[in-house]
Amino acid sequence: MTEGRPRSFYVLAIFFAAYVLFLYGPMIAIYVLSFQGPQGGLTFPMNGVSTYWLSKLFQGTGIVDLGAAFRRSLLLGVIVMAVTVVLSVAAGMAFRRKFKAQSILFYSAIASLIVPSIITSLGISLEFRIIDDVIKGFFNENFETSMGLLTSGLGAHLTWTLPFGLLIMFAIFNRFDPRLEEAARDLGATPWQAFRHVVLPIILPSVIGIGLFGFTLSWDELARSSQAIGAVNTLPLDLQGLTTTVTNPDIYALGTVISAVSFAVIALSLGTIHMLNKRQAAKGSDAGKGLV
């Protein structure tokens, strides 16, 4: 009888390696090709190695204003992150107690996860067009549109980020020990003081995780932006538009920049979460640990 791993181990290992290659291979190819030489094309082999296309990207492609699109995406992502954190924490606190129509409200909040993104985007666009018609008909016939980055666009992105934030908060408070908050109240703390000095420090690492979800989901959201963003474009929409017009590695450089921002935000968030968890561990509290 020979010792060693069973054949199933190697079969599953090959399957996993193929999965990882399928998942990350295209991304790695894009990142590598964004460093093509000045005479390089869209495919391998590479014709030199340089940062020419990245620098050309920041100088402008001459087709779209990528700098403006970058700033719009960044602004929208930050606002979506802030609103997602505030509403998710508030909803998580509210759902700790029973109230009427609780189940209906919960399922209504997470229903957008199962609705196709393009349908949600079309519905929001239609809703704002109806609002525009009402404003033109009753208030101002010269009114153009209420659709925009921080109106319909913000609403569309929140339909994607809020359900995730809400589900994370449920997981957090399912493991939260309410006796900590009750002890603070018994010692004379007001509801705000109990939240500020007891609840928030414990759940803070997970709240940062919600912010991370909110920003990254908004940053690269395409389908929900496609119909609901109004007259302006976000960076993913410009990237999609360039796929039909650009025939050089500009588009790869843009994809690399978008990914770099996402990785930077993820690294910053995970670093902050790690630091907060270490500080909690040093103080002897493990509440909220591992709930990101």
pLDDT band at 289 (very low <50, low <70, confident <90, very high): very low
Q: Phi first, then psi: what are they for 116, rounded to 5°?
A: -55, 140
Q: What pLDDT does residue 42 have?
A: 80
User: Rounded to 5 degrees, what are φ and ψ at 4?
Assistant: 145, 180
pLDDT of residue 138: 86
Q: Which residues contact 139 (CB under 8 A, 6 or more apart)?
A: none
Tell me the C-alpha distance between 129 and 17, whole Å.
48
pLDDT for residue 291: 43
User: In which band, very low, low, confident or very high, does the pLDDT at 154 lie, cut at 50, 70 and 90?
Assistant: very high
pLDDT band of 100, cuts 50, 70, 90: confident
In this predicted structure, the answer to whether residue 285 has a pLDDT above a threshold of 60 is no
| pLDDT single digits (tens) 170-218 | 999 888 888 988 899 899 999 999 999 999 988 998 899 899 989 999 9
Contacts of 239 (CB under 8 A, 6+ apart): 251, 254, 255, 258
Query: What type of residue is 22?
Result: F
Residue given tokens 């907060």 in the structure block:
276
| 13-27, 78-92, 138-152, 158-172: the lowest-pLDDT one | 138-152
Average the pLDDT over 64-69 and give the result: 77
Per-residue pLDDT, 259? 87
Mean pLDDT of the chain: 85
Q: CA 137, CA 141: separation in Å to the nearest integer?
A: 6
pLDDT, tens digit, 9 for 90 and up, residues 72-82: 999 999 999 99
Mean pLDDT of the region 207-234: 88
Q: Which two tokens stand for residue 7?
A: 């054949």
- Give residue 2's pLDDT: 55
Per-residue pLDDT, averaged over 112-141, amounts to 88
Q: Where does residue 91 rank: exposed (0-12), middle (13-18), buried (19+ CB within 10 A)?
A: middle
Rounded Cα–Cα distance for residues 156 and 223 (Å): 10
3-state secondary structure the chain: CCCCCCHHHHHHHHHHHHHHHHHHHHHHHHHHHCCECCCCCCCCCCCCECCHHHHHHHHCCCCCCHHHHHHHHHHHHHHHHHHHHHHHHHHHHHCCCCCCCHHHHHHHHHHHHCCCHHHHHHHHHHHHHHHHHHHHHHCCCCCCCCCCCCCHHHHHHHHHHHHHHHHHHHHHHHCCCHHHHHHHHHCCCCHHHHHHHHHHHHHHHHHHHHHHHHHHHHHCCCHHHHHHCCCCCCHHHHHHHHCCCCCCCHHHHHHHHHHHHHHHHHHHHHHHHHHHHHHHHHCCCCCCCCCC
CA distance 121 to 112: 11
Instruction: Give the confidence band of 165 by pLDDT, cuts at 50, 70, 90.
Output: very high
Average of per-residue pLDDT across 159-175: 91
Residue range 48-65, pLDDT digits in tens: 888 888 887 777 655 667
For residue 284, what pLDDT is reported? 59
pLDDT for residue 290: 44
The residue-averaged pLDDT of 110-134 equals 89
Contact 133, 144 (CB under 8 A): no
For position 292, what pLDDT does the model report?
41
With a cut of 90, say whether residue 246 has pLDDT above it. no
Task: Copy the structure tokens of residue 271.
Answer: 């670093």
